[in-house]
Copies of this chain bind each other. A is one copy, B any other.
Amino acid sequence: MTSTFLASRNPILFGPGVSARTGAELRALGCKKVLVVFDKGVKAAGIVDRILNSIREAGIETVCYDGVLPDPPDYTIEEAAAIGREANVDGVVAVGGGSSLDTGKGAKVLLTNPPPISRYYLAHEDIRPDTGEMKPIIVIPTTAGTGSEATPGGVITDTKNNCKQNVPCATDLGIVDPELTVGLPAAVTVTTAADALCHAIEAFTSAEHNAISDVLAEKAIELIGANLTRAAENGADAEAREGLQLAATLAGLSIMGPFCNVPHEIGLTLGMIFHMPHGTACAMTLPEALHFLAPVIPDRIARVVRLLGATPPEDAPAEMIGAAARDRIAALYRDIGFPKLSDFVKSKEEVLAAVPAIMEAMPFHFSPRPVTAADVSDILAAAYDR
């Protein structure tokens, strides 16, 4: 059944150089003193200073929180918000990868709602943060991956239950400037772009894909196919960076309704167990997942293959289409030096031992093909052997 296209509520300013407008945009939002949230790596890369300069040139005071951690733990959200409350800020700016953006979103919630952040997890269906008094947030991604600038919530690690939680929080502006990704190391370029590729392909192959989302997903897949190898080989290729950054935003917009399916559902648990970065874990089984899905949605899988620049023969049987999809993405992964499952897990047996935890955590509600424990084992085994 087709899903409702859940239009993002987040306005987005996209283009090379637009991050120089950060200060002016904050002023337009009425901010006089803002909490700026980032991690030490983005600071060391010099990106935070560019943003801080723009903010200060607009006559706006800044207070910094530089303690963002990957897969942001609940307590870091509370730390960031405490600094902002103490300084009586009237806005938030989050600069960095998905973890920084999600930390900023959580901090925005806690600036005007009592902690702890766990009160507002979407899983607790009865409690929602009061949005009436919320201060504005601008998010500025420095990777082309999560699409967090397009999505209406922050993903936070619940350290009590060792799982991911979602806190609802729209953003007031996303400033998406591909120039900020030019210095990104190839390894980060590759795994974050693979995350975006998953968002787009999983939305397009979801049991609840929809026609509007399809338009965004198809364009994102095409852009990643055309630009990822180029950006991995030459990080200074501005055109390739712009293509990937646009793809990441479009992919973020495309998942609003269809949501993700097999690769993300396996990857979320896999990442928690084996301490793999989000993008790496979620993209790890993409080739094998598409091979698995081809028998039920051969036309959509064939379309993915074509968008990635390969050509399955007309009227090819589903098995051949699935193999073509698997092989096309596996070849892309080889070209870009995408990590292997064996880099994180020392034996196939150990990976397969994770299957019960994956099945327990995930309902595979958005997969167009029912997924059994045996299917997950097959997918993981094939991914391990690839």
Contact = CB atoms under 8 A, between A and B. Distances in A.
A13 B9 contact: no
Interface of A: 2-15, 18, 150, 173, 210-212, 215-216, 219, 246, 249-250, 253, 257
B15 A11 contact: no
Nearest to A243: B211
Contacts of A8: 7
Contact of A212 (B4, B14, B18, B210): B14
A15 B210 contact: yes
B6 A212 contact: no
Contact of A10 (B7, B10, B12, B210): B7
B9 A9 contact: yes
Given A7-B7, A215-B219, 13 more contacts: A2-B15, A4-B173, A5-B14, A6-B11, A7-B9, A7-B10, A7-B11, A7-B253, A12-B212, A14-B211, A15-B211, A212-B250, A219-B219
Contacts of A250: 212, 215
Main secondary structure of the interface of A (DSSP, over half): mixed
Contacts of A14: 2, 5, 210-212
Contacts of A215: 215-216, 219, 246, 250
A371 B372 CA distance: 64
A250 B216 CA distance: 10
Contacts of A2: 13-15, 18
A216 B13 CA distance: 16
A185 to B, nearest CB: 25
A138 to B, nearest CB: 11
Nearest to A6: B11
A8 B12 CA distance: 11
Contacts of A173: 4
A211 B178 CA distance: 12
Contacts of A246: 211-212, 215
Contact of A11 (B5, B12, B219, B253): B5
A250 B212 CA distance: 7
Contacts of A211: 14-15, 246
Contacts of A9: 7, 9
A12 B7 contact: yes
Contacts of A6: 11
Nearest to A245: B211
A259 to B, nearest CB: 14
A22 to B, nearest CB: 13
Contacts of A219: 215, 219
Ranked 9 nearest A-B pairs via Cβ = A7-B8, A4-B13, A2-B15, A5-B12, A14-B211, A215-B219, A4-B11, A6-B11, A9-B9
A372 to B, nearest CB: 30
A26 to B, nearest CB: 14
Contacts of A11: 4-7, 257
A303 to B, nearest CB: 15
Nearest to A150: B7
A246 to B, nearest CB: 5
A136 to B, nearest CB: 14
Nearest to A17: B2
Query: Which of A9, A215, A246 has the largest count of B CB atoms less than 10 A from its CB?
Result: A215
A24 to B, nearest CB: 11
